Amino acid sequence: EDQVTQSPEALRLQEGESSSLNCSYTVSGLRGLFWYRQDPGKGPEFLFTLYSAGEEKEKERLKATLTKKESFLHITAPKPEDSATYLCAVQALIGTSGSRLTFGEGTQLTVNP
Amino acid sequence: AAGVIQSPRHLIKEKRETATLKCYPIPRHDTVYWYQQGPGQDPQFLISFYEKMQSDKGSIPDRFSAQQFSDYHSELNMSSLELGDSALYFCASSLAWLTDTQYFGPGTRLTVL
């Protein structure tokens, strides 16, 4: 069974204080690893897709990296508007289209001004 | 850019009633996914459809059924509603041949009284 564990559960940062969120996973063949941002009561907003170990992607203050066992979401000089829950999810390589995402429980990030 | 549309956005039902949730995927997307998210929990996969055929099935109760229509929109039918069905229900869509990335809608908040 695919499993995703995110840490920490909650993280409080001061504006400008860089940090990293961790996502550890076990999956029977990784098709893709996904990062989403979710604001309260809203749908997950897509951030990044990573497919193979060593891959990195960046968007504004966010950078996602992938190894064979975990992924990191690095946040550089965060702003209060970066406050949200960040979800990591994996999709297994089962050979068909339309396969599920298995999510971690998320990291709730709060950035104080 | 067009996003996933879900209706209704809010729904209040009594126990044992039925509910129908609708999802309109991003134009040209051929795959639809349904997820359930309880309070403080991560999204749990229910079911998905690729080209109108069921492609993956998760922890969807037997009281629930879903289908994808010829115009690619999808409906989730829920019968004999229970208090525990109260949750946010998200629909996501993807374009299978191009990417595995799932784009989420704003969700339907179902409250069962």
* Residue pairs between chains A and B whose CB atoms are closer than 8 Å: 70
| Average pLDDT score over chain A | 94
pLDDT of B88: 98
CATH number, position B76: 2.60.40.10
Q: 3-state SS string over B14-30?
A: CCCCCEEEEEECCCCCC
Count the Cβ atoms, other than its own, within 10 Å of residue B56. Answer: 19
Q: Can you say whether the dihedral through the CA atoms of B70, B79, B17, B38 is positive or negative? A: negative
**With contacts defined as CB-CB under 8 Å, which chain B residues touch A99?**
48, 55-56
Distance, in Å, from the CA atom of B103 to the CA atom of A18, rounded to the nearest integer, reads 28
Inform me whether the pLDDT recorded for A83 exceeds 90: yes
Q: Which residue range(s) make up the domain with B31?
A: 5-112
pLDDT of B82: 97
Q: What is the DSSP letter of B72?
A: S
pLDDT of B98: 66
Evaluate whether B110 touches B11 at the Cβ level (below 8 Å). yes
Q: Which domains does chain A have, with CATH numbers?
A: 3-93 (2.60.40.10)
Beta-bridge mates of residue A20 = A74
Interchain proximity A99–B88, CB inside 8 Å = no
Inform me whether the pLDDT recorded for A93 exceeds 80: no
Instruction: State both tokens at B48.
Output: 């998905």
Interchain proximity A46–B102, CB inside 8 Å = yes
Inform me whether the pLDDT recorded for A97 exceeds 70: no
Q: Which tens digits make up the pLDDT trace of A1-54?
A: 889 999 999 999 999 999 999 999 998 888 899 999 999 999 999 999 999 999
pLDDT of A23: 98
Per-residue pLDDT band at A96 (split at 50, 70, 90): low
Instruction: State both tokens at B86.
Output: 């109260």
B98 CA: distance to closest CA in chain A (Å): 11
Helix (H/G/I), strand (E/B), else coil: B83: helix
Residue with tokens 């599920």: A100
Distance, in Å, from the CA atom of B73 to the CA atom of A46, rounded to the nearest integer, reads 21
Domain count, chain B: 1
User: Cβ neighbours of residue B40 under 8 Å, at least 6 residues apart?
Assistant: none
Instruction: State both tokens at B51.
Output: 């080209």
